[in-house]
Amino acid sequence: MISAKSIHRRLIVRLLAAWLAISLLIGGIVFFMKMRDVDEFVKNLTFNETRALLDDKKDYINSTNPKDLDTLKKMMAEHIMKGHFVLVELYDKSKNRIVDFDAKGSEDVENYIEKHKETHILSYKARYNRFYFEKNIYIQIFLPLYDKESNLIGHFEGVYRVDAKTTKDITRSIILSLLQVVAAMLAITIILYPIILSMDKDLIKLSRDLSEANVGMLETLGSAVAKRDSDTNAHNYRVTLYAVELAEAMGLDAGEIMSLIKGSFLHDIGKIAISDNILLKPGKLTEEEFSVMKTHVGHGYDIISKYNWLKDAGDVVKYHHEKYEGTGYLSKLKGGEIPLNARIFAIVDVFDALTSKRPYKEPFGYEKSMQIIEEGRGTHFDPQIVETFKKIAKKLYDTTSTGEEAFLEDTLHKFVKKYF
Ligand SMILES: [Fe+2]
């Protein structure tokens, strides 16, 4: 049964996953927009300083007087010492480099640019690109220079380093924005949780009712077949209890155990289709009668396979009379071909037949029953499962084999509650 607890857990997991996904998505968009703002901001910083740097120097660029060039170099060097440019190159209109200035300590970034970036792009359009190097933001700028009459008079190429405080402010602003997104999404998730949970209440109740109806139907079907050849459900209860205990000892997961419970309780459901003169015959069945009796596994499978919720009981219903060496019926499967739940059930079904009273025999004691199980190891039964069964068989024999029907029913209901 889907419990309220598991629905709450699933809801929390899904809401957290949604929170994470939306935070990543919106965080990504915010980050992208922030970076666009940063780009614009540092681009403006760079262009403003470039403008200030070149403002009063354009007249000197194409001068043929060597003194003018010296003055230009001197003026630029002075300006660069005070500003943020770490690399500066100036070209005249004939694309001759007339100024090449590297700020002190800029060797590393210069090497990095040589290796990873384009340089000396002397085109008619301004270009810039932003990059990070050793925790600093840099802007590389390529700028064609024009006079007042819009004639090209040269080219400027520079690398601008955003100062540490500005870089820190930018980084802090980006982190703050992302944290705000994450916090806002978390707040929305927390607000949504009780709203969705309250909507889930009806779903939980519906799911419980459905599960109870399914279990009730399982018991009704099991009782229906038990009434055909016995007065009580005791055999069905016992084999189901044995099977669950054995499966738990083998470490099967909850889903497999749930299928095993259904299969065990309904293992002989196909006997509904066997006529009374064969099913209730007091003496030994003839060969022909026995071959009819064998068909109960197929009839059982036909009955349960039509209902989706019961389909997984099919392994036990269809294959519980298979034998490990391949001599069982009806499919004559061998060893591992026989589904695990059917191999488990085969042992407990025989164990219950041995330890119970039948019209043709008194119950066998524990020792004799286990001796017969042991003899069937590797021929009738899976030897590994027999090994595990031997560890728990005495406890099962003492607590369950002689238990009253009411006690067995009660115990089984505890398992049903645990697994459904
Ligand atoms: Fe059977």
User: What are phi and psi for residue 56, nearest 5 degrees?
Assistant: -105, 20
- CATH class of the structural domain 83-162: alpha beta
Residue 226: the pLDDT is 87
Q: Which fold has domain 230-419?
A: Hypothetical protein af1432 (1.10.3210)
Report how far residue 156's alpha carbon sits from residue 149's, in angstroms, rounded to the nearest whole number. Answer: 18
CB 385 within 8 A of CB 347: yes
Termini Cα distance of the chain: 4
Q: In the chain, where are the structural domains located?
A: 83-162, 230-419
Determine contact, residues 350/389, Cβ cutoff 8 Å.
no
pLDDT tens digits for range 106-143:
888 888 888 887 777 777 888 888 888 888 889 898 88
Phi, psi (deg, nearest 5) at residue 404? -70, 155
pLDDT at 385: 98
pLDDT score, position 320: 97
**Which parts of the chain sit beneath pLDDT 50?**
none
Of 103, 100, 99, 98, residue with least CA distance to 85: 103
Task: Compute the distance from residue 332 Cα to the ligand 1 centre, in Å.
Answer: 15
Tokens read off for 221: 């079907």
pLDDT, position 420: 86
Nearest to 345 by CA among 321, 367, 369, 327: 321
CA-closest candidate to residue 121, choices 103, 138, 142, 102 = 142
Distance 191 CA to ligand 1 centre (A): 55
The whole-number pLDDT of residue 236 equals: 94
Q: Is the dihedral of CA 388, 322, 243, 376 positive or negative?
A: negative
Q: What is the pLDDT of residue 232?
A: 79
Q: Are 257 and 248 in contact (CB under 8 A)?
A: yes
C-alpha distances in Å from residue 135, one per residue of 130, 131, 166, 170, 328: 13, 10, 12, 12, 75
Give me ligand 1 centre to Cα 248, in Å.
Answer: 23
The DSSP annotation for 19-38 comes to HHHHHHHHHHHHHHHHHHHH
The torsion angles phi and psi of 64, rounded to 5 degrees, stand at -90, -5
Dig out the tokens for 174 from the structure.
């980006």
CA 297–ligand 1 middle distance (angstroms): 6
Q: What single-letter DSSP state applies at residue 271? A: G
Q: CA 229, CA 274: separation in Å to the nearest integer?
A: 11
DSSP letter at 85? E
Name the DSSP class of 356.
Answer: S
Query: How remote is the CA of residue 150 from the centroid of ligand 1, in Å?
Result: 101
C-alpha of residue 224 to centroid of ligand 1, in Å:
15
Q: How many residues does the chain have?
A: 420
**Distance, CA 214 to ligand 1 centroid (Å)?**
22
Residue 412 has, within 13 A of its CA and on its CB side, a CA count of 28
CB-based neighbours (< 5 A) of ligand 1, an ion: 268
**CA 342 – CA 333 distance, rounded (Å):** 11
**Total-model pTM:** 0.61
Q: Which tokens sit at 86?
A: 């770490």
The Cα 273–Cα 16 span in angstroms is 52
Give the distance (Å) from ligand 1 centre to CA of residue 358: 15
Distance (angstroms) between ligand 1 centre and the Cα of 388 equals: 23
Span from the CA of 341 to the centroid of ligand 1 (angstroms)? 14
Ligand 1 geometric centre to CA of 348 (Å) = 12
Per-residue pLDDT at 4: 65
Q: What is the DSSP string of 307-354?
A: SGGGGGGHHHHHHTT--TTS--SSS---GGGS-HHHHHHHHHHHHHHH
In this chain, the answer to whether the domains covering 83-162 and 230-419 adopt an identical fold is: no
Alpha-carbon span 255 to 315, nearest angstrom: 13
Contact 20, 26 (CB under 8 A): no
Q: Do 53 and 80 form a contact (C-beta atoms < 8 A)?
A: yes
pLDDT at 3: 62
